């Protein structure tokens, strides 16, 4: 029996993995969907978000601002250590921002991981050492960045804050195009219900470069989503290429899903099939 440790992306939570995790469990695997600190069951919800007081929401302090990439790494590494004690191979999977945690954990405990998997995820490199550096690259400019949708000053708040409950049609159109343009409107509303307002600016800037002698020894897979507008396919391709250049004897196994947006195909079995069939 293998254990899949699943790491969510920005403004998200472990519940993101519910459909994929359920199918993996039905195929006989252990599954742990991690909630990063102050995410998911422990998420921070600004009072002004509940009341939709946008003026107050622009200034309400957030404890998420104190989180660093070290906090995210520690959370995932702790889960990986516990999973490894159960016996059997451990597969670590990250979506979107979850990729930076995958890289950091791969450096920290490479011997505990049978395989790492990036699902439309950030995989920083020496030339792009952080999520922010990846996003600022020429390839990253093909992504949609919700600048006009930001609530408050990120520099003052210490978080990138988004109002997913907005009634503004233009904002909703940007959010849908950014994360799941191929979803129905009903499915899109379900996605918005699971998003949280704040993500740490410090974590975005945290260095997460895989080292050749640790992370670089772990077999790795990339699920490339061809219609991603959050981690643009051009950026996915560059990250894959730079990782392969670092460890040419241990290259990414790439699975292309050409019609998938950032959240992946609407049919989760297409992702589950890849994860289930990974060699470990």
Main-chain phi, psi angles of 52, to 5 degrees: 60, 40
User: Which DSSP category does 258 fall into?
Assistant: T
User: Which DSSP category does 277 fall into?
Assistant: T
Task: Give the 3-state secondary structure of residue 255.
Answer: strand
CA torsion sign for 81, 82, 87, 92 is: negative
Q: Whole-prediction pTM value?
A: 0.97
- Mean predicted lDDT score pLDDT of the chain: 97
Tell me: pLDDT of 1 over 90: no
First-to-last CA distance in the chain?
A: 11
pLDDT, tens digit (0-9, with 9 covering 90-100), for 235-246: 999 999 999 999
- Kindly provide the residue ranges of all beta strands, DSSP E only, lying in 152-272, ordered along the sequence: 159-161, 198-200, 220-225, 253-257
pLDDT, tens digit (0-9, with 9 covering 90-100), for 102-132: 999 999 999 999 999 999 999 999 999 999 9
For the beta sheet containing 30-34, the strands, ordered from the edge strand earlier in sequence to the opposite edge, are 30-34, 3-7, 90-95, 115-119, 220-225, 253-257
Q: In sequence order, which residues have a C-beta less than 8 Å from that of residue 64 and are 6 or more positions away?
A: 38, 44, 158, 159, 198, 199, 200
The pLDDT-based confidence of 39 (bands split at 50, 70, 90) is very high
The pLDDT-based confidence of 80 (bands split at 50, 70, 90) is very high
What's the pLDDT at 6?
Answer: 98
Task: Identify whether the C-beta of residue 231 lies closer than 8 Å to the C-beta of residue 242.
Answer: no
Q: How far is Cα 176 from Cα 229, in angstroms, rounded to an integer?
A: 10
pLDDT, tens digit (0-9, with 9 covering 90-100), for 136-182: 999 999 999 999 999 999 999 999 999 999 999 999 999 999 999 99
**Residue found by looking up tokens 């990063």 in the block:** 36
pLDDT, tens digit (0-9, with 9 covering 90-100), for 228-278: 999 999 999 999 999 999 999 999 999 999 999 999 998 999 999 999 999
What's the pLDDT at 266?
Answer: 87
Per the model's pLDDT, the better-predicted residue between 280 and 77 turns out to be 77
Q: How far is Cα 233 from Cα 47, in angstroms, rounded to an integer?
A: 37
* Residue 231, domain extent: 3-276
Q: Domain containing 41 — which CATH number? A: 3.40.50.1820
Q: Which residues pair with 91 in a beta bridge?
A: 4, 115
- Segment 47-52 shows an average pLDDT of 97
Tell me: pLDDT of 63 over 90: yes
What's the pLDDT at 113?
Answer: 98
Count of domains for the chain: 1
Closest CA to 214 of 65, 66, 108: 108
């Amino acid at each position: 029996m293998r254990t899949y440790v699943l790491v969510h992306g920005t403004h998200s939570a472990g519940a993101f993995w519910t459909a994929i995790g359920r199918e993996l469990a039905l195929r006989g695997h252990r599954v742990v969907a991690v909630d990063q600190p102050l995410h998911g069951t422990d998420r921070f919800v600004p009072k002004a978000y509940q009341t939709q007081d946008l003026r107050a929401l622009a200034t309400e302090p957030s404890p998420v601002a104190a989180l660093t990439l070290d906090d995210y790494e520690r959370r995932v590494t702790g889960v990986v250590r516990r999973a490894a004690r159960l016996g059997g191979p451990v597969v670590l999977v990250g979506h979107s921002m979850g990729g930076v945690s995958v890289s950091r954990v791969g450096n920290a405990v490479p011997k505990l991981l049978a395989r790492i998997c990036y699902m439309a995820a950030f995989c920083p490199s020496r030339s792009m050492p952080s999520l922010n550096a990846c996003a600022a690259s020429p390839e990253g400019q093909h992504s949609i960045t919700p600048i006009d949708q930001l609530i408050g000053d990120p520099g003052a708040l210490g978080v990138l804050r988004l109002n997913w409950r907005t009634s503004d049609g233009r904002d909703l159109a940007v959010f849908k195009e950014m994360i799941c343009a191929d979803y129905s409107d009903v499915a899109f509303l379900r996605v918005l219900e699971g998003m949280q307002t704040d993500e740490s600016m410090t974590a975005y800037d945290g260095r997460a470069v895989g080292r050749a002698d640790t992370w670089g020894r772990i077999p790795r897979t990339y699920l490339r989503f061809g219609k991603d507008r959050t981690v643009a396919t051009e950026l996915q391709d560059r990250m894959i290429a730079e990782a392969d250049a670092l460890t040419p004897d241990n290259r990414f196994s790439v699975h292309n899903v050409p019609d998938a947006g950032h959240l992946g195909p609407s049919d989760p079995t297409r992702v589950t099939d890849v994860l289930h069939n990974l060699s470990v």
